[in-house]
Amino acid sequence: MEGNIRNYVYDEVSHVENAEASRKFIANVFMWMFVALGISAVCTYTFAFIPELSGLLRNNITGQTSLLGYVVMFAPLIFILVARFTFSKLSFATLALIFIAFSAVMGISLSYIFYVYSIGTISTTFITSSIVFGVMAVGGYITHQDLTKFGSILIMLLVGIIVATLLNVLIFHSSAFNLLISYIGVAIFVGLTAYDVQKLKRIGAEMDGDASAGKVAIMGALTLYLDFVNLFLFLLRIFGNRR
């Protein structure tokens, strides 16, 4: 009987400690994510409204993308691959610098949206995306339902819409198909937001005192950042009023 009581008390204390470690980890993840979004927002606005800078990426009259514009467009993917495949070898400071650089370049690459959509549309879509993302993030954090199986399905669907998007760009050129992809994309990233937050919550519960917790938090922030940005872009394609 005494042994059972001790085990119960130990389990309760461990649960409290794990919950506290998880909260600290998630707070760190979101801190890095908000830093990244802030950097991206500044870079997006700067390269959209300063003619000397926007002219480096595209012709301000014809809108034709320059060589540098194409480089900037694909540069964020390089940063992601470097961070993921050299994660174990990178120091926390180096990974943080890569993440900040990624945020800046990603922001620059997103400056095109101000050329395509009105400021009012972008603002409204950003607010909508923030609300949807926030609701799903909270839902993923507090739900007791295991979202693992849904996450696997969503990732497979994500691969599917990437392939479908490439086919539409290269072959079909269908606006209706593009709209369908956008709706599916919104559904996928709404689900992935909840799934990723739950996954990070569980990771955080196991990271208490781990020397690599800071680096893992940055990678978690990268994941949520991509969830938010993709959700925003898909919603913008659905509801955006093109200039």
Give the pLDDT confidence score for residue 173 in this predicted structure: 85
Give the pLDDT confidence score for residue 242 in this predicted structure: 59
Give the pLDDT confidence score for residue 172 in this predicted structure: 86
Give the pLDDT confidence score for residue 14 in this predicted structure: 43
Token pair of 107, please? 């922001």
Task: Report d(CA 101, CA 82) in Å as an integer.
Answer: 12
CA 100: distance to chain centroid? 14
Backbone angles phi, psi at 174, to 5 degrees: -105, 125
CA 119: distance to chain centroid? 22
Token pair of 57, please? 């990426």
Backbone angles phi, psi at 107, to 5 degrees: -65, -40
Give the pLDDT confidence score for residue 11 in this predicted structure: 44
Q: Residue ranges of the domains in the chain?
A: 2-239
Task: Report d(CA 205, CA 21) in Å as an integer.
Answer: 5
Q: pTM for this one?
A: 0.91
Nearest to 112 by CA among 159, 69, 170: 69
Give the pLDDT confidence score for residue 164 in this predicted structure: 95
Please list the ranges in the chain whose pLDDT falls under 70.
Answer: 1-17, 241-243
The shares of helix, strand and coil residues in the chain, as percent rounded to the nearest 5, are 85, 0, 10
